[in-house]
Structures are given as C-alpha cells and as structure tokens.
A and B are shown apart, each in its own frame.
Chain A
Amino acid sequence: MRPVDYKVNLFAQGAEREGIMKSKKIISLLCATAMMASVLAGCGGSSAPTESASSDTDSTAATETTTETATETATETTDAGSGDVMTLEFFDVAANYQGVQTGWFAKVVKDRFNIELNIIAPQVAGDAIYQTRASSGNLGDVLILESGQFKECVEAGLVKDISADIWNYSNLAAYKEQIDMLNNGLEGNDGKTYGMPTEMMNTSPTSYSQDVIYSSPLLRWDLYKELGCPDIADLDGLLDVLEDMMKAHPTNEAGDPCYPMSLWPDWDGGDGMLGIANVVQLTTWYGEKIKGSVILKPDGTFIPLTDKEGSYYKMLKFLYEANKRGLVDPDSATQDWNAACAKMSAGQVYLMWYSWQVGFWNSVDRLKAGNAFIFVPVADQSYYTDADSYYGSGRVFAIGSQVDDAKYKKILEFLDWYASPEGLMFQHDGIEGFNYEKGDDGRLHAINTNALMDNLPVPEEWGGAGFNDGNNAINQWLVAANSTNPETGEAYNKDYWSTYKEETMTDMKKEWAEKFGAAEPVEYMKANNKLIISPNVSVSLPTDSADISVIRNQCNEAVCDYSWRMIYASDDAAFDAMWDEMTAFLDGVGFQDLVKFDTEKHTIELEAKKAVAK
C-alpha cells in the first residue's frame, strides 16, 4: 500500500515543491492527458481507419466496423481527396472478394460513372457482418441480398423505395414483368418497388436453354476412351471406371498424386441446404433436390433428409464406398476451396460434378487434344435441374435506405448500365480486343479463352494487372449470361456463340456425339427422358424464427460433422452406427420441428411451380 500513498501525495502537493518534484508533476500530467486522449480516440476510432478504407484495398477490417456516420465521413473524404470520384458501398452476398474493385473492371466503371466500388462480402467477412451492419441501420449503398434477407430488410426499413424512378431507366424497365413479380410477392406490399431479381432472362420460366446442367458426372474423355468407353450402369459402375483410371494414372504429369475425387468443406450448409455441399449437389443425379432439411422427390413429395431411402444417404454411401477403394483425396475434409481448385487445374482429379469445375481444366486446346472433361451418363440416373432463371435466381439487387439523392441517381444509372448490352458484354464476355473480337462477318470470336484460368495480363490501356484479378468482383448479374444479346442475336455466354461452337466441334466432341447420339449433354438427357426441369417461380417464403434458426444451425453442424466422419468410416457397421447416432442427436435438438417448418415452407414454392407448369 505504501508506494501508492506516496505518489498521490506527490501529485497533490507538487505545486508546493521545487525542482525534480515539479518535473515529475509535469510528466504525470502529460501521462494523464495522453490517457484521456487515448480514451477519446478509442471512442471515435471508427472514423480514423475509414479514411484509408475508401482508398486502400487492404483495409477490410476497418470497413467492417464502419458505422453509419463513419461511412459518410469516409465518402466525403474521398470526394475531397481525389476529384469527384464517388465510392459506392456494395453489400454483396455473392462476392468472394472484399475491398475496393481493382483492375480492368474498376477502370471500366470509373471511366463511365466516375465511381469506385467498395465491396463488403459476407462470404469473406463472415455472416455476422450482415447482423452487425443491419442493426446499425445502414447495410450499404447497393445491396445484393438473399431473398429472405431482402424480405426482412424491407420490413426493417433498410431498403429504399425505388418505385418512382426505376421505370425511367429503359434497360431496367425492360424487365418490368420480372421485377413486379418479385415485389408483388412481398407480404403487404401495395404496388411499391424495392428490388430487382438477379440473373433474369428473356426466355420462359419452364424452358431450359443451356447445353449442360449444373451438376452431372463429368469424366476426362481421354481416360474414359483409354478404358474403351464402357457403359456405366450405376454408381458402382462409376466407381469401377474411376478405380481403373486411377490404377492407370496414379499421378499427373508433374508426378503429384491423383485422386479421382477431391472434396472441400467450405461450402457446407450453404444455399439454404443442410449437409455437406458436395453431397447435397450429388443428390440431383437421382432427380431429388434438397430444400433445407427435407428432400423434394421427383413425385412432388417431401421426405426428411435423414430418411435412409433418400438420396442424401445414398450419395453419402457412394462417397464412403469411394473412400474405401481409395478414390477420395485424404485431404478432402481439411483443405479449402482454393486448394481443391489448384488440384483441378493441375489435373489431379478424374471426376467433376459442377458445371463450373470444367472451367479449371477445359480449354480450346484441351478440347482439341481430346483430354477435356465431358458428361458421361450413368444408366440409372435422371437429373434434376432448375429451369431458366426467367424470374431471377433467388437473390435480389436493392438500394440502401440511407443513400443521398446524388448517390441514388448514380446508383440507378450504374444499375441501368449493368443491365444494358454494353454492361453485360463486359460482365459475361470481358474486354473487346482482349477476350473477343468482331470478325469480318460481324460475328463475335472468342480469343484468349484461358484469360480467367491463367489470369492473363490485361493491356495497360485497360488498366493492366491480371484478367482474373480485375474481373467484376460483384460476382452477380442482373441479367443471366444465357439471355439473348439484341446486338448479336446470340447469347452473351461465349460458349453458345456459333463461332465458338464451330471451333470446339473437335474430334472429341464428334466421338462423344456419335456414341451418345446427341450433340450436347442436355439434348441427350431430353431425348432419353433423363431431365427433370423444375419451373422458375418467384414466391416469398417465410423466414426462420429465432427458434428455428438455432435449430437449423445446430442440425446443419451436426449433419456436416457426422457426414464427413461417415465418408471416412472404417466399415459398413461403423457407417450405419454413425448414421443412427446422428439421427438420434438431430431429434434431440429439434430436427422434427425443422422438418415440419421446411415442408410447409417449400410446399408454397412447390404449388407455385405446379401452377406455372400447367
């Protein structure tokens, strides 16, 4: 106790003392002032880092903690700092990148609108950023939300009413039917417009106009041909083929070990579907579709995810059998998506099941060389696919309720361009002269098709840096790539250009067409009655209550954890024991309530689909 007393005396009576005591007093006062200053700085801390947030790509942490007032300060700072550049904050559930847009796409929007895009990505920062920003009353300037979030945010007053102005913008007004459909679906909405669906199309809600579907078994053609193109009867047959491939080629050319299947856990429980993302996707091979905690069967009935007759069990067992044969990458449960992609690019996997995965391997050269991935049918399968996203793909573009008039106008101008042919060409095709060029016949020709895959350097006049680095980080479109471009009469997606189809009509494609009697995978599926197209609808579904969201979260975690362990189970008995343990646990945390809720919720959607199909 003594030293403390001594110091207090020293401070208090310092004025009456001389020399050394005086200087000590000054020091102590300085300390106190510094302390006070640091306290104040702590309170106002959020405004300091945001100044750099507007100009610095790496200041993601600062952006996260930005409060409403701080955001405004940040924008003002930028305005004063570098001419009239306006920073638009995108709260973007689709983005895989957080920070300010850089590279060629940044240059494209800056040249046209003098704006900068600052992307806030819950996929990077974690879902909690939605909750924290929402509770602060300002999510961002431009919002790209899941439909449930959109509904909540409209109710909570976080979304601006754009009814008065949106129809003045011709490219947006062209999709009035789709936009109205979305907004009229909002409960208690009396004709007001709040948002626009993503990936709208100008075809029809029941057609399917792509050549491939989102998920189907894709094999390396050269390896498959090497085995003599055997017919595959069922999943066991598929495993046999993969096993033979692995025996013939245990490593890639660089000598790294190959495993036919390499999985990744990052996406588990995503897109509102319980369970391991990879397994969830595979269930569509048997015409079933997971909706939350239930499985929609082809006959239009719902069964719980935990039903042993359902496809989740079936596909999990398939992966377990694959692992027993040594066909699954042992790192699957601990690697992340980037690690898995690196293996795809390096040719270390022999089975792909997402249509986008081939983008990491297939190129025009490989299609010519005959070693690209392509759909190979399994006889007992029939495939589920969602129809053209005529009414949108489920997410929503909206404008934040806190934007000022100048910003509001700028955003609408930007979105109008974003839905215009010129904007869509940039989004879906890239840069003219770098990604495509106009031929003498007026048709478009794709060039540098590996620009995205290999991150090719972009010419200086377009802002330099790699193509992938500068690619549109919003990662979500108002109009889908398969819509028709009025300027060319063809789809925006270069894979559907007549020139590209001619170029890729390689020997491999011809061999494939000859064997399966169709020009494209979807044509084969349709001809053989193996495609179940689920109509596209726009309905507003009930959102989770606090109870249901806790149950959903706990169930999802348990399903994912048990599923991974089951894939690596030592034998059948262990597999089934874990399945039973899982169902018992799920029932304990309220799984039955969740099933009841999800069944009711998705019946609404199903009825709407039935109505459209009629």
Chain B
Amino acid sequence: MKEFFSNKRKVRGFKEFLMILPFILLVLVFSYYPLYGWVYAFFDYKPPFPLSWDKFVGLKWFRSMVENEVKLKQLLMVLRNTFAMSGISLFFSWFPMIFAIFLNEIKCKPFQKVVQTVTTLPNFISWVLVYSIAYSVFSSTGVVNSIGMKLGLWDTPQMFLQSADHIWFKMWLWLTWKNAGWAAIMYLAAIAGIDESLKEAAKVDGASRMQIIWHITIPSILPTYFVLVMLNLANFLSNGMEQYFVFQNAFNKDAIQVLDLYVYNLAMGSGGYSLSTAISILKSVVSLVLLCCTNKISKLVRGEGFI
C-alpha cells in the first residue's frame, strides 16, 4: 500500500480512474446491463411466472419469424415501411440545413427570432398532442372538412386520417413540422462560426447573396451535415414508435407499422415478450452492421471515420 501511495504516477492514474468511474458505471448500468434481457428470447417466457420456471426453447422464436410465407411477408412489409420512412427522412435531411441558411439571411432580427421560436416550439409538444391537433383539424367534423364542405369542394366528409394514401410522405411532413426548427439550431450554430472575413472578401469581389450562400455558407457547414447524416444512418432501423403509434389505425397499419411499432404491438398486446425480444436482438445486430458499414464508407470517402 505504502509503495502504491508513494508512487506518484500510480496515484495519478488512480485519481483519473476515479474521475472516469461514474461514466463507466453509467454505461454499464444503462447500456450493458439491459443486454441481460436478451435471455428472454430463448425461453417461453410468460409472466407472472419467474424465468426460472419457463422452458428453454433455443432459437424457436427466431425461426418462428420466418417459418411460413405469411409471417415472412409481414416481416418484409414491416421492414419495407421502416426503410421507406427512414429513407425519406434521409433523402430530405438537407431540409433543416437549407431552412437554417435562409433563416439566417433574414435581416429583420425580431422577425427572424419569431420564426425561429415558432418553428422550434413544436419539438416540445408530445406526439399524443400532435395527434389531437391532427384529429381536430382533419376528422370528419374538423376544420378542413367543415371549410371544404361549406365551400362545396366535396359533399361527404373526407377521411384524411383513415386513408393510407401517401402515408409515408404525410408522416414525413408531420415529422418535419415537429422537428425542423429544432434540427436547424445545430446549423445556425455552425453558420455563426463561419469567419466573417470570408463573406466580406466575397462581397468586395462583388458576389451576390446567392453566390455567398453557395460558395461560402454551404461548404462551411457541410461537415456538420455529414456527421449528422452518419449518426442518423446508424439509427436507420429505429425511427421511433410514438409518432406511428398515435397515427396508426386499421386502414393505414399496413403502411405505417415500422419495426419499433411492430415490436411494441407484439409485446404489449398480450405478452409476446420472447418473440419481441428476438426481433429486437435482430434489430440491434443489423444496426451494428449498418454503423460499421457507414464508418467504413466514411473512411474511404472522407479519409476519417467517426468511431
């Protein structure tokens, strides 16, 4: 012991270890301990009986996902929805960036602040409330139907919420309405970090506003954009379930049921815990593969990875 304390290097190392310890614990408790729950995928788990009473079934639940055409079809449909909706988000991921650039160009400061506040606020509204807004606007007696029928645009109420038409795009619109302002904050910060002298020099050279945006602003914030896109890629399979949970109904479920929602519907309905755990495991594995792939691509394209 005495030797340990007399060794300054070791004491320093120990102190540093103590400093990092809370974070190690945090990661262990919240990221690694839950992995123990994976064990449920290999049992016929049925509450209220403890796991030790249940039968070990090996890979039964994994096999049951693909054991016949109907189940396979359903799984593929769920994957299709997940990929489609994540794909659309990814495809339009430049939107908050452009929004931030244009917001920054507004010269009237009070107006700019108002726009920014109004677009950021929806981020703090929960999806349940967003749906109740949607319901009062689009239900058969909602604002849109009332106006439409009064103006004679249609005779019978239009069922906007019950239709599966363009549902992916509609979901993206809701998501954007909720998130665009919030996502723009990151870009606004990046824009604020651009060296003013670059812009001044461009102005002296006679560059127009659009030219400044195109040649200075956009190239300067592109690195931020790429980092965010890559982080999103790792989350490709987890596009959350709250939004789709509140908007789902019998008519649009085939198009709206994403992986997270599917797992929830399976497990919470009547306790298909083992099967849902099995699906979640597969999801985690695929996400891990996706993350490694994007990292590899990033290394090839940009010369540096992010892990």
A residues contacting B by CB (< 8 A) are 8, 11-12, 32, 35-36, 39, 42-43, 126-128, 130-132, 134-135, 139, 152-153, 155-156, 158, 256-257, 265, 326, 329-331, 333-335, 544-547, 549-550, 552-554, 556-557, 560-565, 568, 584-585, 587-589
Q: Are B268 and A550 closer than 8 Å at their CB atoms? A: no
Q: Are A334 and B162 closer than 8 Å at their CB atoms? A: yes
Return the CB mask of B47-75 against A: 1 if under 8 Å, else 0.
11110001000000000000011110000
With A553-B266, A557-B269, A585-B70: A333-B249 Cβ-Cβ less than 8 Å: yes
| Interfacial chain A residues near B69, Cβ < 8 Å | 588
Please list 15 pairs of residues, one from A and one from B, whose beta carbons are closer than 8 Å in the complex, sorted by A's number.
A11-B19, A12-B12, A12-B16, A35-B22, A39-B25, A39-B26, A127-B270, A128-B268, A330-B140, A330-B157, A549-B271, A550-B266, A553-B269, A560-B250, A589-B71
Tell me, in angstroms, the Cα distance from A557 to B251 when the chains sit together: 12
Tell me, in angstroms, the Cα distance from A36 to B273 when the chains sit together: 34
With A12-B16, A333-B162, A588-B70: A561-B250 Cβ-Cβ less than 8 Å: yes
With A11-B16, A131-B273: A545-B251 Cβ-Cβ less than 8 Å: no
Q: Are B16 and A131 closer than 8 Å at their CB atoms? A: no
* Cβ < 8 Å to A, chain B residues 267-307: 267-275
Q: Are B141 and A550 closer than 8 Å at their CB atoms? A: no
Is B253 part of the binding interface, using a Cβ–Cβ cutoff of 8 Å? yes
What's the least CB distance linking A186 to chain B, in Å? 15
Is B135 part of the binding interface, using a Cβ–Cβ cutoff of 8 Å? yes
**A-B pairs with CB below 8 Å: how many?**
121
Which size class do B's interface residues fall under?
A: 35 or more
Tell me, in angstroms, the Cα distance from A42 to B26 when the chains sit together: 10
Tell me, in angstroms, the Cα distance from A552 to B140 when the chains sit together: 33
A-B pairs with lowest CB-CB distance, top 9: A588-B70, A134-B48, A564-B250, A546-B44, A131-B47, A553-B269, A550-B272, A553-B270, A561-B250
Pick from B25, B71, B270, B273 the residue with the most CB of A within 10 Å: B270
B residues contacting A by CB (< 8 A) are 12, 15-16, 19, 22-23, 25-26, 29, 44-50, 54, 68-71, 135, 139-141, 156-157, 159, 161-162, 249-251, 253, 265-275
Give the dominant DSSP class at A's interface.
helix
What's the least CB distance linking B63 to chain A, in Å? 12
What's the least CB distance linking B167 to chain A, in Å? 14
What's the least CB distance linking A302 to chain B, in Å? 21
| Interfacial chain B residues near A330, Cβ < 8 Å | 140, 156-157, 159
Tell me, in angstroms, the Cα distance from A156 to B250 when the chains sit together: 37
What's the least CB distance linking A396 to chain B, in Å? 15
Q: Which residue of the partner chain B has the closest CB to A543?
A: B46
Q: Are B250 and A553 closer than 8 Å at their CB atoms? A: no
Q: Are A546 and B161 closer than 8 Å at their CB atoms? A: no
Q: Are A334 and B249 closer than 8 Å at their CB atoms? A: yes
| Interfacial chain B residues near A8, Cβ < 8 Å | 16
| Interfacial chain B residues near A587, Cβ < 8 Å | 70
Q: Are A565 and B139 closer than 8 Å at their CB atoms? A: no
| Interfacial chain B residues near A36, Cβ < 8 Å | 22
Q: Which residue of the partner chain B has the closest CB to A153?
A: B48
Q: Residue A549 contacts which of B68, B156, B251, B272 (CB distance < 8 angstroms)?
A: B272
| Interfacial chain B residues near A554, Cβ < 8 Å | 266, 272
A-B contacts besides A156-B48, A333-B249, 12 pairs, CB < 8 Å:
A12-B16, A36-B22, A42-B29, A265-B250, A333-B162, A546-B44, A553-B272, A557-B265, A568-B162, A568-B251, A588-B69, A589-B70
